Chains A and B, each alone.
Chain A
């Protein structure tokens, strides 16, 4: 807890929390929303394509969307890290935060497996019927992303401690 209280007193943490400019906390929150939109959004396009169109249209061209998805991921890793620096105790003392991280990790692991199944060389350039297992995983990933969004939203409501420094008094 004292480590968290120390983080709260660093210049970066204070600036994100208290700087009277929209470029501090508000802008970082916007970036986190923007990253979410494209990280999960590309998953929506990719996974729904697997379920609905893979037997009629080739999967290969969809791989070009992946850099946009990864850009969204890194924007969110960075903006999430800054939000964590601003209020370390708020997230780290709330179980919901670990649920969110677990769901995101599960999404990325499954997505990696799915990518290996779908973008098999030469096979990806023709339309083909994907196995039921592949299609099930595509749907599970979308449900897990919805769970991660739910957990992320509830973080704003379920926290026990806002500031470690105040909780220690």
Chain B
């Protein structure tokens, strides 16, 4: 593990974020913008399937998800940049472990949704109610989204002692 951390700290992204003072706060801003893009698209899509916002057709809301995907990519890239800057602060941080677990569950939920329920949801009219299973998946997605934010915000308070 130690040699892996040393290897990460020797990579260019690590140098980039540690060498220039503005990179960390600008990346945090982008990480938050990514979060907002996901909350505003994935979160709103979930809420519609859960029944809030009847009258909104799911199809155009689903098109907005491309912005959520952009937000996810931004968040993953900036997240990797943070890790490259202080790997031990993440690898030995229990809030980070919870965050990764929630992200994994989110990924499984996404796969299940698209393979089982997407067809039915795409055909829904503006005032239709989503099938029960789709509502359960939307509920899981929404709760996990908030759990990921919460675990992310808690990272600071579960920092291991600095060794490097």
Contact = CB atoms under 8 A, between A and B. Distances in A.
B25 A37 contact: no
Given A38-B39, A40-B40, 18 more contacts: A26-B157, A33-B35, A36-B32, A41-B44, A42-B44, A44-B36, A44-B64, A44-B67, A49-B64, A52-B60, A52-B63, A61-B54, A62-B53, A64-B55, A65-B47, A65-B53, A153-B32, A156-B25
Contact of B153 (A26, A56, A61, A150): A26
- The secondary-structure label for the interface of chain A is helix
A151 B123 CA distance: 42
Interface string B137-164: 0000000001001101110110000000
A29 interface: yes
Nearest to B149: A33
Contacts of B28: 153
- Interface size bracket, A side: 35 or more
A80 to B, nearest CB: 15
B25 A33 contact: no
Among B56, B63, B126, B150, max chain A CB count under 10 A is at: B56
Contacts of B126: 61
A48 B64 contact: yes
Contacts of B156: 26
A53 B39 contact: no
A159 B83 CA distance: 25
Nearest to A62: B56
Contacts of B63: 52-53
Interface string B24-38: 011011001101111
Nearest to B59: A57
Nearest to A59: B56
Interface string A136-169: 0000000001100110011011000000000000
Given A30-B154, A61-B56, A150 B29 contact: yes
B56 A64 contact: yes
B25 A154 contact: yes
Across the A-B interface, give the 10 residue pairs with the lowest CB-CB distance, nearest first. Answer: A61-B55, A44-B40, A41-B40, A41-B39, A37-B39, A61-B56, A40-B36, A30-B153, A153-B29, A45-B44
